[in-house]
Amino acid sequence: MATQIDKEACREAYNQVRDDNTDTNWAAFKYEGSRIVPAGQGTDYEDFKQMCTDDSRLFGFARITTGDAMSKRAKFILITWIGENISGLQRAKISTDKTLVKDVCQSFAKEIMVSDPRELEEDYIRMELKKAGGANYDAQAE
C-alpha cells in the first residue's frame, strides 16, 4: 500500500517551527500504518531526541540558532531517523516516503539521515548547519 501524508496537519506543524513568533523549534512526523502524521512538536530539542528510539522511524524538522560573532540566525534542518531495529524493507521505504515529507517541509538548510543517536546531539547538528551556512567570522579577532 502506498504511503500517504496528512498534508494539512503536517504543514501546520512545519509552519509552527518556521514562525518566528512561536517558541516551537521542532516538529516530528511518524508513521501510523501507511500514513505519515504529526508525532509532536515542542520547544526543547531533547524531547525530540527522546522520540528517536531503536524501534522508531520518523522525520524531524528543527530550528537551530547558529551564527558567529558577527550574526546569529535561525537555520532549519530536516532529519530522517531510522532506528537500529527497523527492518530492511522499512529502511528502503523511508527513502521514497521522504519525498512526501519534503513536499511539506520545503525550506531547510541541511538534510541528514541518521541511525546513530550521537548524530542527533545538538552540537553535531549545529556544526552541520554551520558548514552549510557560508561565511564564518569566528576565526577573526574581535
Q: d(Cα 93, Cα 57) in Å, to the nearest integer?
A: 11
Q: Are residues 37 and 84 in contact, defined by beta-carbon separation less than 8 angstroms? A: no
pLDDT band for 68, please (50, 70, 90 cuts).
Answer: low
Model pLDDT, residue 142: 41
DSSP state of 137: -
**Mean pLDDT, to the nearest integer, of 119-129?**
90
**Mean pLDDT, to the nearest integer, of 70-95?**
92
Q: E strands along 1-142, which residues?
A: 4-5, 26-32, 35-42, 57-67, 72-82, 110-114
Tell me how far CA of residue 125 lies from CA of 50, 75, 112, 113, in angstroms. 16, 10, 9, 12
Question: Between residues 70 and 6, which one has the greater pLDDT?
Answer: 6
Residue spans per domain, the chain = 4-132
pTM for the structure as a whole: 0.88
Q: Mean pLDDT, the chain, as a whole number?
A: 90
Model pLDDT, residue 70: 74
Residue 15: pLDDT above 90? yes
* 3-state secondary structure at position 123: helix
Architecture of domain 4-132: 3-Layer(aba) Sandwich (3.40)
Q: Are residues 97 and 36 in contact, defined by beta-carbon separation less than 8 angstroms? A: yes
pLDDT > 70: what percent of the chain? 91
